[in-house]
Chains A and B, each alone.
Chain A
């Protein structure tokens, strides 16, 4: 469980990134942290594994304050997949890359071998075991980065803007993968500004704006609240936008999913026929 107790954080450059953020994420939750670029999302999640320590307030991971424990120790529980895989990749082979964190955490060689095989399998990278990560395509490198974090089986997985530069199919695969992870009991935190992606996942949404949390609840409720989305400078999902123009026909606009939209319209036409 991650408890953020009203934290404040200012970067050395003077930018006040977090101005009083209270948040609790329970085990096994699936949370999307949303907001404009610069709202403080990445700053917030960097507190979850101790990379950043709050100036005021504190962050507790399983009741232990992040100030009392090293980043390495917290990382064991809280895995962080960075936005750009090239900021992590340095090994000669994909195998070595995945084993890196395991070695840092002091796993035994036999276990490392097994975990690496498992992670490669999970992300469809087995054929690249002995390949240099630099030879792989962008999408494949992202999978290697993800594999290298999942290999040590952290309780919490944080993904920072995982959808950037991905095509539709890759996003769909990612979405299914995240749902699968969450289904296995992992706490999944996704930092993203991709509204459509969140609309398709329908997780708990924590909406941030200018260093504060402005909303915390169901994706559907938050993404369809036009006052909120305007204040937080985010764009509502396409489906919601469509229904916003149909309110005078009696439609409510709290829809974010295409299939649901279809159903609503079909039902209406059925009714109209009679």
Chain B
């Protein structure tokens, strides 16, 4: 069952001189972990904003083409309706936290939805537990590290129990260890809750191993769409200047020098494993 379906999606920001999206057609199935990537300016952030209705409702302008997310046609539903099914976590952790305590921030969405206090309390507890930040519940956002803040942002989106969660470059401001932690949290959520995940990222070295579907965009169009290993190993990905994982790069270099290799590793662990197999012979 498709959670996201788009056909010939096109969009130009009001006042923009060229389209940010031109003819985007893709399908995302339930339970997938999608990595959406591409060079800066390719339209991936714009696409994310379409998924929860910020485009066209918040940004204005006309969204052409067809877009269904979680069964709803985005142009026909208000953002707050979409918010119940689509969660969006943004790049800057600081600008997603408004309240003076973590608890209150996590409850924010639920308060907006008018949920009763008892149920809200349970949800907040649950979301804090799922993201591993229960001990931070009474802290003020300003006291937290970037990684902790981002986990609060994730918890506050998670609390609304969306079908699909979208993460727009969530680790930009974090160091590699912090980034790893966030990817682990996201993967954990996907496994435990069967929520569909769309992760926009440049740091493919760290994130690729979790994905089972990769979409690469360039200049407002989808250029590559399929299984991670094929995509990363392709010539096109290389030419686009996407940060193909080092493991894949090594693999390609070895192949270019005449080695015959099977499979494509997308993480350092896999590369080690594959190499060990070969070396044993």
Contact = CB atoms under 8 A, between A and B. Distances in A.
Nearest to B280: A249
Contact of B146 (A37, A166, A259): A37
B24 interface: no
Contacts of B173: 164
B40 A170 contact: yes
B79 interface: no
Interface string B228-250: 00000000000001111111011
Interface residues on A, range: 35 or more
B271 interface: yes
A233 interface: yes
B176 A193 contact: yes
Contacts of B253: 258-259, 262
A237 B250 CA distance: 13
A169 B175 CA distance: 20
Contacts of B244: 168
24 contacts: A37-B175, A137-B40, A137-B41, A164-B173, A165-B91, A167-B243, A168-B202, A168-B242, A169-B241, A170-B40, A171-B243, A194-B176, A234-B175, A235-B180, A239-B246, A241-B268, A241-B272, A242-B247, A242-B250, A242-B271, A245-B275, A258-B246, A262-B253, A266-B259
Contacts of B40: 137-139, 166-167, 170
Given A38-B145, A262-B254, A266-B259, A238 B268 contact: yes
Contact of B254 (A233, A238, A265): A265
Nearest to A38: B145
A273 to B, nearest CB: 11
Interface in A246-260: 246, 249, 258-259
Contacts of A262: 250, 253-254, 257
Nearest to B273: A245
B219 interface: no
B276 interface: yes
Nearest to A195: B176
Interface in A164-192: 164-172
A101 B177 CA distance: 37
A266 B260 CA distance: 12
Given A168-B202, A265-B275, 8 more contacts: A36-B177, A37-B178, A137-B41, A165-B91, A238-B247, A242-B246, A249-B279, A265-B250
Can you list the 10 inter-chain pairs with the closest CB atoms, starting with the nearest?
A245-B272, A168-B243, A169-B241, A241-B268, A193-B175, A238-B246, A262-B253, A235-B176, A167-B40, A242-B271
A228 B53 CA distance: 47
B137 to A, nearest CB: 22
Contacts of B3: none
Given A37-B146, A265-B254, A233 B272 contact: no
Interface of B: 38-41, 91, 145-146, 169, 172-178, 180, 202, 205, 241-247, 249-250, 253-254, 257, 259, 268-269, 271-273, 275-276, 279
Contact of A37 (B174, B241, B257, B272): B174
B39 A258 contact: no
Contact of B245 (A195, A238, A259): A238
A257 to B, nearest CB: 10
A216 interface: no
Nearest to A199: B246
A167 B39 CA distance: 6
Contact of A258 (B178, B243, B249): B249
A153 interface: no
Nearest to B244: A168
A274 to B, nearest CB: 15
With most chain A CB atoms within 10 A of its CB, the pick from B176, B205, B254 is: B176
A167 B175 contact: no
Interface string A119-150: 00000000000000000011100000000000
Given A169-B241, A234-B177, A164 B275 contact: no
A243 B271 CA distance: 9
Interface string A10-22: 0000000000000
Nearest to A39: B175
A25 interface: no
Contacts of A235: 176-177, 180
Given A165-B172, A265-B254, A233 B177 contact: yes
A42 to B, nearest CB: 12
B129 to A, nearest CB: 25
Nearest to A244: B272
A261 B252 CA distance: 12
Contacts of A269: 259
A245 B269 contact: yes
A193 B179 CA distance: 11
A196 interface: yes
A242 B265 CA distance: 11
A239 B247 CA distance: 7
A266 B250 CA distance: 11
Nearest to A265: B254
